[in-house]
Amino acid sequence: MTARRDLLRYGAAALLAGCTPRASERAADRIRLWVGPNAAEEGFWKIAVARWNALGRGLPVTFTTIPTAGNSEDTVLSALVAGTEPDLSTNIFSGFAVQLATLGQVEDLAALPGYAELVERRHMSAIMPGWTQNGRVFALPIYSSPTLLWWRADLLEAHGLSAPPRTYDEVYAFSDRYGRAKGQSRYGMQVIAGRSWQDRWFDFISFYYAASRGQPYLNGARALYANPAGLQVATFIGRMFRERWTAMDFDAEEPLVTGLAAGAVRGPWDVERFANIYPDTLARIVVGPMIAATPTTGPASTFSDSKGVVVFRNSRVKREAFDFLAWVLGDEALNLLWLERTGLSPARGDLLQNPRFAGYYRASAIGRAYAEHVVSARPPALSEYTIDVQKIMGSQLIEPLMTGQQPPRAALTAAVQRTDDMLEAQA
């Protein structure tokens, strides 16, 4: 009987121990890294980690892709709760980094030795303000993916445009011609990206950054987009729907392929997708800036879909982990390798001036268009309440404009008021 009890006791202890390794058991003899679960990124880190380990400059690094079947954030959160998180993780969007910082789970990278040198060496001084909150930086961007407008060059030319539209008026005029020519069954451009809260990054926020020349739409506990720029964007969206120059959704097909829409907001990650699935269409794509009421001199501001890397608070090798990170991000050869492997521009401000990257961008016109906008692209607002802020944008601003239920100014005011109320309640 005693033996049976002991067996049960040891079995239960082993089971529970396997579930919850504690912080005190964390390895201090190596740096553990999680990277984004895709082949391109994994390929890059495989080489980078091998080079670091061969150099012997610091603690050895082991890496694995984020063990997720769906969402990286869920997996990172589960690992943190279970105490099985690594020392470093990539693929963290800025809003999630702020949430983790609020919960005390990530380090302030700006406070770590070597941060300032890294920012200078990587030419990130124009990029980092978007990632800095009260002087603290919780995630460091590896890459920056500006959103830009893709246009079917053949369709533009067939309707009298030799270059992509840069202003709302040009889009109105083109949409009118294009839609009318096809009996109102085709649309000038896809304006709204989709229904989920994330889609606001690829419609309203992208347009707002362009209209406001990169001004923030949220500041702590206040929404800031009830201004002339916000009204211009709301008016543009409202008019596109009122005149039926765009559709409620484009879920049935990729509109650029069939010409259902001649233009749409797309990111650099779409280049590989189109190259694999729609190579003929990609050959006919010309990339234009994010449109605004008036054209800008120089690259227009837009949204940057960037993911960053964080150092977890419970790591026992924080400094060593940051040394590794600073080495990877600061190494130009590795930045070029990242670019070649993933097609995503490293978050650095010298991409088109640095001869190291010249060869790549000479061969890739679309890549060059994105690189031009890395400095002028802005990341999402650093807010713990990203989801709620953007859900309100969708329900109070975008949807009323789509259906014509509210005029632009009223919808804009209602959305900002609801956002402020929500932020006040959360506070």
- The answer to whether residue 248 forms part of the interface with other proteins (CB under 8 A) is yes
Per-residue binder mask for other proteins (CB under 8 A), 260-289, x = binder: x-----------------------------
Give helix 94-102 / helix 72-82 axis angle, nearest 10°.
Answer: 20
Task: Report the alpha-carbon distance of residue 372 to residue 417 in Å, rounded.
Answer: 35
Residue 9 vs 57, nearer CB to other proteins? 9
- The answer to whether residue 385 forms part of the interface with other proteins (CB under 8 A) is yes
Give the footprint of other proteins on residues 179-218 (CB under 8 A).
185, 194-197
* CB count in 10 Å sphere of residue 152: 22
Among 76-84, 155-163, 204-212, 336-344, the segment contacting other proteins (CB under 8 A):
76-84
- The answer to whether residue 73 forms part of the interface with other proteins (CB under 8 A) is yes
**CB 247 within 8 Å of CB 190:** yes
**CB 158 within 8 Å of CB 380:** no
- The answer to whether residue 383 forms part of the interface with other proteins (CB under 8 A) is no
From the CB of 84, what's the least distance to other proteins, in Å?
Answer: 14
Give the footprint of other proteins on residues 43-72 (CB under 8 A).
71
- The answer to whether residue 399 forms part of the interface with other proteins (CB under 8 A) is yes
Identity of residue 99 = Q
Task: Report the alpha-carbon distance of residue 207 to residue 49 in Å, rounded.
Answer: 38
Give all strands of the β-sheet with 187-190 in edge-to-edge order. Answer: 187-190, 261-266, 148-152, 285-288
Residue 11 vs 129, nearer CB to other proteins? 11
Residue 37 vs 194, nearer CB to other proteins? 194
- 26-55 burial: b if 16+ Cβ within 10 Å, else e: beeeebbbbbbbeeebeebbeebbebbbee
The 3-state DSSP class for residue 93 equals coil
- Structure-block tokens of residue 167: 């202003």
- Structure-block tokens of residue 306: 């960037």
From the CB of 250, what's the least distance to other proteins, in Å?
Answer: 6
Site for other proteins (CB under 8 A): which residue of 39, 249, 333, 365? 249
Judged by CB under 8 A, how many residues of this single chain contact other proteins? Answer: 34
The residues near 11 (Cβ < 8 Å, ≥ 6 apart) are none
- The answer to whether residue 250 forms part of the interface with other proteins (CB under 8 A) is yes
**CB 138 within 8 Å of CB 112:** no
Residue 340 vs 399, nearer CB to other proteins? 399
- Compute φ and ψ for 292, nearest 5 degrees: -150, 180
Site for other proteins (CB under 8 A): which residue of 149, 161, 247, 397? 247
From the CB of 15, what's the least distance to other proteins, in Å?
Answer: 9
The 3-state DSSP class for residue 345 equals coil
Residue 23 vs 333, nearer CB to other proteins? 23
Among 22-30, 75-83, 120-128, 131-139, the segment contacting other proteins (CB under 8 A):
75-83
Site for other proteins (CB under 8 A): which residue of 130, 165, 230, 255? 255
Identity of residue 41 = E
From the CB of 68, what's the least distance to other proteins, in Å?
Answer: 12
92 CB burial (10 A radius; 0-12, 13-18, 19+): buried
- The answer to whether residue 134 forms part of the interface with other proteins (CB under 8 A) is no
- Which spans of this chain sit near other proteins (rule: CB under 8 A)? 1, 71, 73-74, 77, 80-81, 99, 103-105, 185, 194-197, 247-253, 255, 260, 385, 387-388, 391, 394-395, 399, 402-403
